[in-house]
């Protein structure tokens, strides 16, 4: 976030639009301060803003806090309360990083796919959910995977709309061979497809989709899927791009009176293993900022400029540890941020 803030300051100096920022606590920091991972004030500020840029929420320090006030509850809470049902997770392979992936270069070079994860329903939110102790003393843990027609309809519709603006291919990922909720998911997606005759619709079971993502990811354009399936598939897709440290995301709500609630965050988490060392890759956050400029702030020109700066810096050979390759220049988090600022002056 520190690097993103430097870029916002640069944009405020160099573009005609001024981004007015405010800050609020969520997750572990909010637990420390308010014993609540999502304080009322945070939610109020988030809802009032044109867009929210979110860092990460957790760490080993909060591993022992009560389940309902754990850091993750803050993240799930803000997504739910802001109605952010659509999570866009693009996986784009920059030419410069085609060799940084653990997959063969020819499998990933030129990749540009979009995973659209349903974010406020499915297994994460279904009720009942809990851990009980049965009369005989055995414990029972359970969650519910449920969807209603409007929930499927709106994510499917957005998937088709996004596909229309891209390669006109939509793959719906489900588990209709096992789960009733996913049989219905597929049926509802097929209904929405009637409004988008130009989009080529396909269906995959999630296990097959995971396999196809590493076998031949370029067969995909837009993928829509259930909340937890999307969580898993997007982490998988991140490695196609070289590193989890490269993947931005946008979480969007419905448009109400011309305004769409929106939150932007890297796909990665707080990476406790490297926290505080100054070596994290800030590019997922910087690219999340770029998505924010494009989708929420009507600053497409600046968004393109920022993306070009990222490409330039990569082509100049700057690499944080997670994407380091032989012969490249290894830089820290803040050095990467500085390199982006410098590139912004030049692109
Ligand atoms: C993500 C994360 C979150 C999720 C966690 C931190 C709750 O993994 O955004 O992908 O599971 O949604
Ligand atoms: Mg995840």
Say whether pLDDT at 344 is over 90. Answer: yes
Please state, in angstroms and rounded to a whole number, the distance separating the CA atoms of residues 281 and 261: 27
Quick check: is 273 catalytic? no
Closest residue by Cα to residue 65 from 30, 39, 100: 30
Residue minimizing CA distance to atom 4 of ligand 1:
231
| Tens-place pLDDT, residues 104-145 | 999 999 999 999 999 999 999 999 999 999 999 999 999 999
Minimum-distance ligand 1 atom for the alpha carbon of 57: 6
Please state, in angstroms and rounded to a whole number, the distance separating the CA atoms of residues 135 and 333: 53
Say whether pLDDT at 242 is over 90. Answer: no
Quick check: is 295 catalytic? no
DSSP 183-198: HHHHHHHHHHHTT-TT
Quick check: is 174 catalytic? no
Per-residue confidence (pLDDT) for residue 176, from 0 to 100: 98
| Tens-place pLDDT, residues 294-339 | 999 999 999 999 999 999 999 999 999 999 999 999 999 999 999 9
Per-residue confidence (pLDDT) for residue 166, from 0 to 100: 96
Per-residue confidence (pLDDT) for residue 100, from 0 to 100: 87
Assess whether the C-beta atom of 75 lies below 6 angstroms from ligand 1: yes
Q: Whole-prediction pTM value?
A: 0.94
Per-residue confidence (pLDDT) for residue 286, from 0 to 100: 98
Whole-number mean pLDDT of the chain?
97
Per-residue confidence (pLDDT) for residue 273, from 0 to 100: 94
Quick check: is 124 catalytic? yes
3-state secondary structure of 245: helix
Please state, in angstroms and rounded to a whole number, the distance separating the CA atoms of residues 82 and 253: 7
Minimum-distance ligand 1 atom for the alpha carbon of 249: 9
Per-residue confidence (pLDDT) for residue 258, from 0 to 100: 87
Distance 270 CA to ligand 2 centre (A): 11
């Amino acid at each position: 976030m520190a690097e993103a803030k430097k870029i916002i300051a640069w944009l405020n100096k160099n573009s005609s639009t001024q981004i007015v920022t405010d800050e609020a606590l969520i997750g572990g920091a909010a637990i420390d301060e308010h014993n609540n991972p999502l304080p009322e004030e945070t939610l109020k500020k988030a809802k009032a803003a044109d867009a929210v840029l979110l860092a990460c929420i957790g760490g080993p320090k909060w591993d022992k806090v009560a389940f309902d006030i754990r850091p993750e509850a803050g993240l799930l809470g803000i997504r739910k309360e802001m109605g952010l049902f659509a999570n866009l997770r693009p996986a784009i392979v920059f030419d410069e990083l085609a060799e940084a992936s653990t997959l063969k270069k020819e499998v990933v070079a030129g990749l540009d796919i979009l995973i659209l994860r349903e974010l406020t329903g499915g297994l994460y939110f279904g009720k009942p959910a809990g851990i009980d102790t049965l009369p005989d003393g055995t414990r029972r843990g359970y969650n519910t995977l449920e969807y209603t027609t409007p929930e499927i309809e709106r994510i499917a519709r957005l998937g088709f709309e996004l596909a229309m603006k891209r390669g006109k291919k939509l793959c719906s990922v489900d588990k209709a061979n096992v789960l009733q909720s996913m049989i219905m998911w597929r049926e509802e997606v097929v209904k929405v497809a009637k409004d988008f005759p130009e989009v080529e619709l396909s269906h995959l079971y999630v296990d097959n989709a995971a396999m196809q993502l590493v076998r031949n990811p370029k067969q995909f354009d837009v993928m829509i899927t259930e909340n937890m399936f999307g969580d898993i598939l997007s982490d998988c897709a991140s490695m196609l791009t070289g590193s989890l440290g490269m993947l931005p995301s946008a979480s969007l709500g419905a448009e109400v009176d011309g305004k769409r609630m929106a939150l932007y965050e890297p796909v990665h988490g707080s990476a406790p293993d490297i926290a505080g060392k100054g070596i994290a890759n800030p590019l997922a956050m910087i690219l999340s900022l770029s998505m924010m400029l494009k989708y929420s702030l009507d600053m497409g020109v600046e968004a393109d400029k920022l993306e070009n700066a990222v490409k330039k810096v990569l082509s100049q050979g700057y690499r944080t540890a997670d994407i380091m390759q032989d012969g490249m220049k290894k830089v820290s988090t803040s050095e990467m941020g500085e390199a982006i600022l410098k590139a912004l002056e030049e692109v």
